Chain A
Amino acid sequence: MNQFEIFNYWIYVLIMMIGFYGVIAKKNLVKKVISLGLFQTGIFLLYISMAVVEGGVAPIADFKDPNAVYANPIPHVLMLTAIVVSVSITAVALSIVVRIKLAYGTIETDEIEEMDGAE
């Protein structure tokens, strides 16, 4: 198996790890949320890559050609759901961040921790 043929898997890992790094390293909550989104986007790529069938076309039934090869539709469908989930997570996260900004006056986790520690 040629490593180049499966390069999109490498990209999936790369995107995911960039996101993962951001989630851990960034102190700004909005940046954390963005990184989380990136992390999940990487996973979409994983699913979509695995749906590829060599020479496959979009899975719309073509009854004229009995030998037609289709891409696997299921991972795409799954990812539709996952995208919805991801968007919801971002929405919930951002709304909580807004409340944090209102309550603490900052969205930097180190400053928040300091304020919590003082209580």
Chain B
Amino acid sequence: MNDIAPIIALAIPALGAILVALFGRFPNAREIISLGVAGALFTQVLRIYELLRVGFPLEYTAFEVMPGLPLTFRVESLGMTYALIASGLWIITTLYAIGYVRKNKESNQTRFFVCFSLAISASMGIAFAGDLFTLFIFYEVLTLSTFPLVTHKGTEDAKRGGRTYLGILVGTSICLLLFGVMWTWATTGTLEFRSGGVFKEALADGRVSIPVYGAIFFLMIYGTGKAALMPVHRWLPAAMVAPTPVSALLHAVAVVKAGVFTVTKVVVYIFGPATLMETGQAKWLPYMAGTTILIASGIALFQDNLKRRLAYSTISQLSYVILGAALLVPLSIRAALIHIAAHAFGKITLFFAAGSIYTATHKTNISQLDGIGKRMPITMGAFAIGTVSMIGLPPTAGFISKWYLVQGAWQVEHYFAVGVILLSSLLNAAYFLPIVYRAFFNPLADADRAPSGGRLAGEAPWPMVVALSITAAGTVALFVWPNPFLELAADLIR
């Protein structure tokens, strides 16, 4: 049973989707099932984590899709991190989503939960993929299963957002990523994830020339549209038309992390950091990532729509992970892994808060948030914690990853990267702190005062408040007790 543990992790949410679809007519049963499935998945992922810790070889070859190309699964620490984050936060998001869809009376709730489960199933596939082919398949399934979630509202705006979303993600993945994958397959004859990369021998015996190696690297980095490296980032703001639970879990955690996860994974297991360092083919990447960090932060400064500002912040934070991977030293690559976890907790809190504000007050813009902190103290308190983590200050998780990242950059004397990290921290502060200030210190807008002079009832429904409190607490807890992820990071590369 143990060797198919990853498959079980994949199957739980998929079965959950079927169950949810079957019980679509009974909202209560459906939601209990959703929560139960999420819990079962997290338990299963924890079991896999235990197995990984005791060194149980978690490798499984399913069936051959094409002659010579099987679906394989292999658990290693990077995938473990991603799976832990995605499955753990799924429970909380399900709780949150139940409150959200009920209170906002969303239509097609069953479709919503079905697609959500499928997306998580695809995420598990990505996390535990043992080769690039398997990873690519689940990557595309993830895109497709999240499309109905992005266009959930069915309005003209949603359709337009959906078109951008699908156009960019499928466009880059088919034209660039798939091309890179096939080129790797055609030249090296393997797509397996191996430590040290698969190109070493091919480069040595001349099957692959260095420019081709560089070209494949370029194709794969930009082909991973989900990593939102500029200029293929536009799908992420476009995806913000989705309901907030979707933005929170998928477009702050599962989907975007799938992107940076893929980038890190191919750097470590396909191209090999040492080989990249030798050939110098990744030299451009830190600069592109750095530019993305700064430009996205700059754009975020001028967004009034709260979710859009969060989206641009996500783009810039994702590039931290890419930057970490691109610096190619163990320390920075570990920082990339830790940042995947750290950013997830912080950003999901921020999105939960944005969704709560929308649910309670139907406000979407920052300029409308005057004094909201008095009305919704818990929500905005959590928001403040998330903000601190984004900036990278203690006592939050963001500090730890940033600390490692700066150390890594310093180690290779990449002062551009160091500069970018420091400057962007300032920018983060500049676009997040005003929101917190406005919420707590500005007087409540006149329109928001109840007629009798008292205050309107404040917080969103309790499941949402509970959810965002948990994630905010998680952000702090990860600072106090980061060991699991630090260990995983240490395992990733030595």
Chains A and B touch each other in the complex, with CB atoms below 8 Å apart: no
